Amino acid sequence: MSDKSYLDWPFFDDRHRQLQADLERWASANISDDHHGDTDAACRDFVKRLGAAGWLRYAVGGSAHGGQYDVIDTRAICLLRETLARHSGLADFAFAMQGLGSGAITLHGTAAQKQRYLTRVAAGEAIAAFALSEPGSGSDVAAMSCAARAEGDEYVLDGEKTWISNGGIADFYVLFARSGEAPGSRGLSAFIVDAATPGLEIAERINVIAPHPLARLRFTNCRIPKSAMLGAPGQGFKVAMQTLDIFRTSVAAAALGFARHALDEALRRATTRPMFNQMLADFQITQTKLAQMATGVDVSALLTYRAAWLRDQGQNVTREAAMAKMTATETAQQVIDAALQIWGGLGVVSEHPVERLYREIRALRIYEGATEVQQLIIARQTLSAYEQDLRT
């Protein structure tokens, strides 16, 4: 079992420690990584069970609309994702997408929108999705071309979205489209689009190395009421970035969960594998590798929970969240690779725990801002702070 001493760090309150302990017991009794090949069904099942057990209440804000708290608790979100990821990548995915897919509604939804969507998301009765990326615009959100044209009391959507998590199984999508109020990122708006809306189709289901529900969406003369807009016209970029700011730190937490699992697997193998009349763990080269892995895990945890704690204090954490996301995902890749090396040939057998982790971690270095984008964010924030210091 992973070391739990980090829970004694001053980043956490007693309620966070109790939350982690309660979830650990529940996950140990209720989560299996055996999905029998039907990823869609497994994801739907996870959403239902996470909702029924009350864990999805932490993914939305507003106690009047099913949330555990009026404001999303970032440390709780991170502890939940870390723990779930340690047990199952798909369980973590199911939880995370309920939060990311509905986060813009938590932040900018009207009372009616919150009541209609958040209550069902928190109960596990509706599956949410976040539709931002396009074939021609991933990291460069300002290059978005999916269009929202105002006509009377409606908006008409035309264009495509791709790499959409929960695509094909979602009940609704928080969609970002070019509404044309200004050039670039200032001309985007956010909308809620129900999956059954005429003109919305699943153009393609996308298969990736770690199976998750993923799709390309096509909008053709797709009409939605103006009341489906989230926030103000032209504020879509702000809505998207604020939503990502909440959940980017939690991506680091998921990577941390994967890394802790990999370290556990490496320790188990090293301490039980006989080799040359001793155990694998007795070799200094193995001990060196384990030391690097354990240190990387703690560095990732410190950065992750620093960012989460700062955000819960009301501070802007753009730089800190980027540091956490970059470090935790890159470190987890290294830790998992080292664990696989310690397991040797068994580590590459299909569905072995470290083989699954090897596939799970790769996408986290890309989605919600690739490592290279995090580096740009960190550098720009650091330069800005330096220039500000010079002026004062």
Q: Taking Cα atoms as reference points, which of 214, 301, 321 lies closest to residue 258?
A: 301
Burial tier of 277 (Cβ tally within 10 Å: 0-12, 13-18, 19+): exposed
Residue type, 297: V
The helix (H) or strand (E) run that includes residue 2 is none
CB atoms within 10 A of CB 267: 17
Spatial neighbors of 367 by CB under 8 A, at least 6 apart, are 163, 165, 251
Token pair recorded at residue 133: 């990326």
368 is catalytic: yes
User: What angle, rounded to 10 degrees, do the helices at 236-272 and 74-87 form?
Assistant: 40
Token pair recorded at residue 217: 């969406």
How far lies 164's CA from each of 128, 131, 167, 234, in Å? 11, 6, 5, 22
Token pair recorded at residue 284: 């200094």
For the chain, the first-to-last Cα distance in angstroms comes to 50
How far lies 103's CA from each of 84, 185, 291, 298, 299, in Å? 19, 20, 38, 29, 28
CB atoms within 10 A of CB 128: 29
Q: Taking Cα atoms as reference points, which of 316, 182, 180 lies closest to residue 245?
A: 316
CA 230, 240, 226: angle at the middle one, nearest 5? 20
- What is the chain's alpha carbon radius of gyration, rounded to the nearest angstrom? 21
CA 336 to CA 276: how far, in whole Å? 25
Out of 24, 125, 368, 387, the active site residue is 368
CA 203 to CA 228: how far, in whole Å? 23
Helix, strand or coil, per DSSP, at residue 156: strand
Token pair recorded at residue 120: 């069902």
Contact 319, 264 (CB under 8 A): no
The catalytic site residues sit at 368
